[in-house]
Amino acid sequence: MPNLLNVKIAAKRPIATDICLLELSSVSGEPLPSFSAGAHIDVHVSNGVVRQYSLCNAVGQDHRYLIAVLREPESRGGSSAIHDKLGVGDVIEISEPRNNFPLAKPGDKVLLLAGGIGITPLLCMAGRLHQSRAPFELHYCARSIDRMAFREYLATCDYREQVHFHFDDGDENQRLNLEKVLPALGSKSDIYVCGPSGFIDWALKAAQAGGIPSDRLHREYFSAPPVASGPNDAFEIVVASTGQTLTVPADRSAANVLIEAGVPLAVSCEEGICGSCITGVLEGIPDHRDAVFTDEEREGGDRFTPCCSRAKSARLVLDL
């Protein structure tokens, strides 16, 4: 199970419509665990509600974590509680940082594509790329200027010449046109995209049509995208360390069955987007229904997300 940290809210302020910025600092005064660009933390809000937020401050700042929280219109107690109930001085629990969206070693120019609140991991990436003097561009899309977090910072930062803003309600000529952007990339360029599912899917489709290899495309979803899947057939899971065999019914997840049986398992989003529950597979064929693994990782078949994924084989032996 992951280690939890107690942190206090050192500062909180609005930075755009429906978006607030929280600065978290160590209660003990000790340095916080280090993190890499693209990392996120679990925030334990209240009553068992856990949400994931990307770290958007600079790598190397061990005295604080910065997270930006979008108020979701259909919030079930996560973002709304952070906006309305948590304040400066409150102490909350968070996980140590982990990274399912890391920067690869830069090849040619790096293209960062942010949609809305998807700017948060890419802001940290942009700072890291600038620090390492790697060539990059950041294209930031939002519905309107008032919904654009960090706009003032990005308009005045040291790498402002590499930042491009695009608004849905602006002139059509300033909207993001990937057909014009992609030809400037080299054969070894990497693209990182984060934002709403529709934005990510659109950007990846355009990049693939533009000849960018799939292994150069990196994405992180903040909500579970639609996943084509087969029927929810029942299957068996075997806990390798004990030999315990459990049946996963058609209407339940493997994670629920494991936890009910007393098997330690970290679970957070329960949608296959955070990677908290990733478990090794020793035997059997997973039916991947997550938004964490790449196509290559899915083909490997040696890990799966029990919170949402199932099995193509009758049985999975798990490395638990």
CATH number at residue 248: 3.10.20.30
Burial class of residue 8, CB neighbours in 10 A (0-12, 13-18, 19+)? middle
Does 225 map to a domain? no
Instruction: Compute the mean pLDDT over every residue in the chain, rounded to the nearest whole number.
Output: 91
Same domain, 87 and 131: no
Does 229 map to a domain? no
Greater model confidence, 222 or 127? 127
Out of 191, 220, 249, a domain closes at 220
pTM above 0.85, yes or no: no
Does 245 map to a domain? yes
Question: For residue 184, what pLDDT band results from cuts at 50, 70 and 90?
Answer: confident
- Rounded to an integer, the average pLDDT of 93-121 is 93
Torsion of CA 38, 190, 210, 117, to 10 degrees: 20
Question: How many domains does one find in the chain?
Answer: 3
Range of the domain at 17: 4-95
CA distances from residue 99 to 45, 77, 209, 220, 273 in whole angstroms, order as listed:
21, 25, 28, 10, 12
Does 105 map to a domain? no
Does 104 map to a domain? no
Determine which of 28-37, 78-87, 295-304 has the lowest per-residue pLDDT on average: 295-304
- Rounded to an integer, the average pLDDT of 197-215 is 91
pLDDT of residue 224: 67
Main-chain phi, psi angles of 114, to 5 degrees: -115, 135
Above 90 in pLDDT, residue 222? no
Length of the chain: 320
